[in-house]
Structure 1
């Protein structure tokens, strides 16, 4: 098996953006609310069985291909969900501030959503305008009733004032654990890696085209607010969620772009070659985005040309592989030890 080149898969959403995705992927946006692309996705939008799923040039659904040969694609028989690849990767190009929202953890998802995954996620900054920031966690302990009142009043100013504001720069990686309130300023373009779900609890919907009824996973706020942390995220804890590894130029050896705590959920790395070869990535499912130049993905299955803006789903059966030529790539992979780690109960 060889890496599968996938056509663009833009997703319409409730917020503005998408021009930088279009420029990278060589497409013309259909609307000004096309701010996401789901890369090699085998999961769909919450409540929608189709939107988000990756489809090949010939019209085959990637999820179906993985289900038909899970050993070839991920190196194991997944049993309950043969189409599961352990990760969801997106390009997110916000031209307005995203709402304050939260994702549930695995325990909540297992109890209420019949899913073994929550939605811990991470952002890798590809581009940003000056003084743009992400908002991660509360800067003080919050009273649950007060937060509920502010949510119902859609008091955006109050929520943002009680959050940690982190000015970002290109190459910064930020881990957002499940349960942590967060938002992203308009002007930031990120690659987002996350657990393979679309579970979001909106504390702030009035800045989007979404509604209150679409903001609580169809469970009601009385239930979903138990998934929301009300505790202060202290400066030292916030610092541990940030990596500056990608703010220096990439080399031929693949390097991790995220804090170590992300490894249990997903991994994101990069490499750049300039007429040579990269270090080797071990066999396993991966999503590869070529961010610059042109080269080849070289593995036991053969050699596959790869150029800027292209996206590949790399199967386990491609074997250990490397990048050759003059190109730069981002590589997203499931967490360390997956899928066995998930069937053992995974991460709390």
Structure 2
């Protein structure tokens, strides 16, 4: 299996703010028109991807991680990353995530959650919430308690192709009409600060986590500076968005043919657009928009052909 790509079947999550773009844009068979999240590459217990091909077909990704560790060659105790596609047909709640140290103590050993977003599509003028205007923790708490959201929250207009790095402690939310590919630590810990006082189909408001959320929010807000770098490999433009102790995230745009050497770690690949094929010593594998797969450790050198846009991530 180490010389075959590991294709994965995603898991879909319905959300109060979800929509139908995962079907319309990626042709996924979604459970309803309120589908908010595609957990595309996930070994998290709350939604695990299933291996779609090869001798391990049918295994959950977490099972493959435990049973065949040589495919990954990682020192992590659990599969470290989670790749999602999100469809926000309505505003997401304003939220914040803890870091590893806080989550270990307060969330039963769960990882913290640092993440990043690549904007796939959005309505004109769509906005995200990214940060806040409070100068001190006391001021932050006072503005939250008083519901001064317009004064507190920082809004940023987005467009397709934008990239945002969202470290733990960053107050954030996707706005209505935005689709993103999200790369994150493998965690499902979210502290909801504000949810627009909306109710679900049973008339209930969603739980808020004000004490924990206020405690872990970085005050004052520190903007995450990102410096992109680019290189050309054959007919592929490789753009590196971020590379740190949590993850490396790149965009690959292939238009023609490109040959890549053997990778030094397992690599997560998501096809955002186009079609083509991936070749290595074992054969040729067709690729299309919406495919998600892992190149395991030992996959070897490979060639990409076609017109393809990927998001690539690894430890």
Length-normalised TM-score, structure 2: 0.84
Which of 246, 255, 264 pairs up with 1:274?
255
Check whether the contact 2:193–2:213 (CA below 8 A) recurs between aligned residues: no
Check whether the contact 2:8–2:49 (CA below 8 A) recurs between aligned residues: yes
Which of 171, 175, 185 pairs up with 1:181?
171
Q: 1:75 matched to which residue of 2?
A: 73
Which of 119, 122, 129 pairs up with 1:135?
129
Residue 328 of structure 1 and its aligned partner are, at CA, apart by 2.4
Residue 188 of structure 1 and its aligned partner are, at CA, apart by 0.9
SS at match of 2:237: coil
Kindly indicate which of the two structures has a greater share of residues assigned to helix: 1
Q: 1:172 matched to which residue of 2?
A: 162
Q: 2:267 matched to which residue of 1?
A: 286
Task: Please give the alpha-carbon distance, in whole angstroms, between the structure 2 residues aligned to 1:115 and 1:53.
Answer: 19
Query: Which 5+ residue runs of structure 1 have no aligned equivalent?
Result: 46-51, 335-348
Kindly indicate which of the two structures has a greater share of residues assigned to strand: 2
Task: Please give the alpha-carbon distance, in whole angstroms, between the structure 1 residues aligned to 2:290 and 2:245.
Answer: 28
Check whether the contact 1:70–1:77 (CA below 8 A) recurs between aligned residues: no
Residue 229 of structure 1 and its aligned partner are, at CA, apart by 2.2
Moved more, 319-328 or 166-175: 319-328
Which of 176, 192, 198 pairs up with 1:202?
192
Query: Which 5+ residue runs of structure 2 have no aligned equivalent?
Result: none
Label 1:244 to 1:319 Cα distance change in 2 as closer, same or farther (>3 A). closer
Residue 172 of structure 1 and its aligned partner are, at CA, apart by 0.8
Q: 1:49 matched to which residue of 2?
A: none
Residue 322 of structure 1 and its aligned partner are, at CA, apart by 4.1
Residue 275 of structure 1 and its aligned partner are, at CA, apart by 2.8
Check whether the contact 2:274–2:307 (CA below 8 A) recurs between aligned residues: yes
Residue 106 of structure 1 and its aligned partner are, at CA, apart by 1.2
Check whether the contact 1:290–1:311 (CA below 8 A) recurs between aligned residues: yes
Q: 1:44 matched to which residue of 2?
A: 45
Which of 84, 87, 93 pairs up with 2:87?
93
Tell me how many residue pairs correspond in the alignment: 303
Q: 2:28 matched to which residue of 1?
A: 27
1:252 aligns with 2:253: no
Q: 1:328 matched to which residue of 2?
A: 309
Task: Please give the alpha-carbon distance, in whole angstroms, between the structure 2 residues aligned to 1:292 and 1:211.
Answer: 38
Check whether the contact 1:103–1:120 (CA below 8 A) recurs between aligned residues: yes
CA RMSD between the two structures: 2.8
Label 1:143 to 1:311 Cα distance change in 2 as closer, same or farther (>3 A). closer
Check whether the contact 1:25–1:309 (CA below 8 A) recurs between aligned residues: yes
